Structure 1
Amino acid sequence: MTDRPHVTRLFAPELAQAAEARKKFEPTITNTPDIPAINWSVIGKQAPKSLSTPAGELPAADAVVITWASAEWAALEHVFCASDKAMPYSQRTNGTWPGWQQYDKDMPAHSDNTWTYWGYYKLVQINNSKVLLFKSNTHLDWPGETFLSDLISRIISVVKPKLIISAGTAGGAKPADHIGTVSIVRAGTMYETGQPESKWPTYSNGWNADWGVAGLPGFSKLLFPIPTTEGDLSSLCSQFNSFYGTSFPLSELNPGNVNMGDAAPVLHNQTAAGTALLTTSTFVVATTAGNLADFASVEMDDAVIGEACAAAGTHFGFVRNISDPVQNAALPAKIQGAWGSAVYTSYGLYTSYNGALVAWALLDAQLK
């Protein structure tokens, strides 16, 4: 299965090519607990119910949750489809899941013959409403903005959802947002190279997150603290320096200890304030200098969703978990990107689980 995670944003071309010439950097950590089964009774709720999913055509649904990379897909599968059992860390790279259908209808021509399907989909029920889960194989950076916009317009036209939620990993924008922080917004700004920030287009809408479930006293018990340890981060630093031939101390790669997870994952509902995230298809990283501190996070697809939804009058929201926090502004850009990728690769499953759980909570509160 072809997977284009958001971390492609993190590599400057020269560093990516140099690493690829040797081998792909695959860091390892030792503290890799299972994501536990979800005890929905803690908040008086029931697990989403899997429904029969037709092949060939997207079914109608009240809402859509779209996700992107393999680790995000695994987390979505766990929360929405298989929460009755624990999920091992090893499943974060799974390329298929039971009951999901591949969507390849009316594929447009493209020069890259490896892009052969839009994504995978599965239908579930929350309360009395149908929710379509969609794992996208179509991104802003590949195969391109036109194709991603076409996919979202197709989903809106065929599925006819009242709400589309994008749930996935992202780069942090503020030093205060440690790894595992989850931000919920209803606006996306498109980064435009060579243009001042005031000229970047923003797409917003009137949706506000219903905090009725996420705000329940027991909800925090369902969240999973990111299992970072000093030993694993130190090891990650050593592996990084060995692979790239560098000698950075952990204190420089991990400024302000931003890569150490909080004791309790922090949730930021920024919908009422109208805060936007930043979408970019190029190498753009937020740093400790505050270059992108006006935004909730930095990722690679959502403003395209916002533009298509706004044009169609469909509500949309973005639930982004911080899988690679802000980078040390004093480091070279190539190093910032490579370190962010290493952290994402190691912990993306855990950060994505909390993001998927928050997405479920917002839908459960809104859908009746």
Structure 2
Amino acid sequence: MTAPRSPRSPASRQARFQAFDLLATLVAVVAPDGTALFANAALEDALGISRRSIQGSPFPDCFTEPQLLRTALAGAGSNEFATLRYDAGLLRHGIDPLPVHVVVAQTDRRGEVVVELLPLEQQARQEREQRLLDQSQANKELVRNLAHEIRNPLGGIRGAAQLLELEVRGRELKEYTRVIVREADRLQALVDRLLQPHRRQPQVGDVNIHEVCERVRSLVLAEFPRGLAVVRDYDASLPEFRGDREQLIQAVLNIAHNACQALAGRIAAGDAQIVLRTRVARQVTFGRQRYRLALELHVIDNGPGVPPSLRDRIFYPLVSGREGGSGLGLTLAQTIVQQHHGSIECDSAPGRTDFKILIPLP
């Protein structure tokens, strides 16, 4: 018969602290004398050494100023405070120190202090992602409510114009009523596009991202058979994932169409290029949740780039960089990607614009 494990044994600690491996932040459990009792997977990745090397070693030595952590641990051990925060530099194997925000907190067990490290760059990115997500949700609610409010009076205007056309005489007057009907139809089509992602029920199934890319590639080349090269750069190891294939085709196609419009001059010159690149991203964070693997899909073009005045607003509805554009293509792409629990980003400079889609993988 196996003897029960002591609550203070290393195996028992590993079992109790296993949940820390699910966190995106860097976490260590440290004894008051500075000895590392546990390091989670995120900390292991950040330091570039195995957790076996971390555990049992002096954890303050992982910092550019170890005395700051020693002082904090001594204060936690003597109950001078429950939580202490400060900024520090985390030493990493073979690369520059990582600026981090350190949170030292007592636990309900004597002899154990939790040290949480928030990379300052990551913290700023997470706050930016959350801000963009909140803004996106607010924009979608506004647009959806506005679209619903427009539909009823728009139908009334169209109906009244049709009835008026039956009453008026004279070709010129009838042309005016037809203009009203045509413009009402154009606005109705715009409203339908605004509501499209919210009205359609997702058709979830197994998705091969390269089938999605190939479909987009064939559609783009059918529309632009000359002057444009669509280059494949695929990672064949990417697994299938659950998603709405048709919606993802629409999202990638919207981005590719946006690129084609920006490439009009280069298409005419015959040297336009779009690259469809897929990769596996590891240890990715979306909205403060960490995923072990994610799909990384890039749509890269060699166009003039997004104007600086639009870079912070390109995913907003009805914002377009070209005359006559609806400003809905990228908004709908963002909505579809977010419905797949992913994110979409844009990095643009003259001569290269990169739209990056990230979607969690199983």
TM value normalised by structure 2:
0.23
TM value normalised by structure 1:
0.22
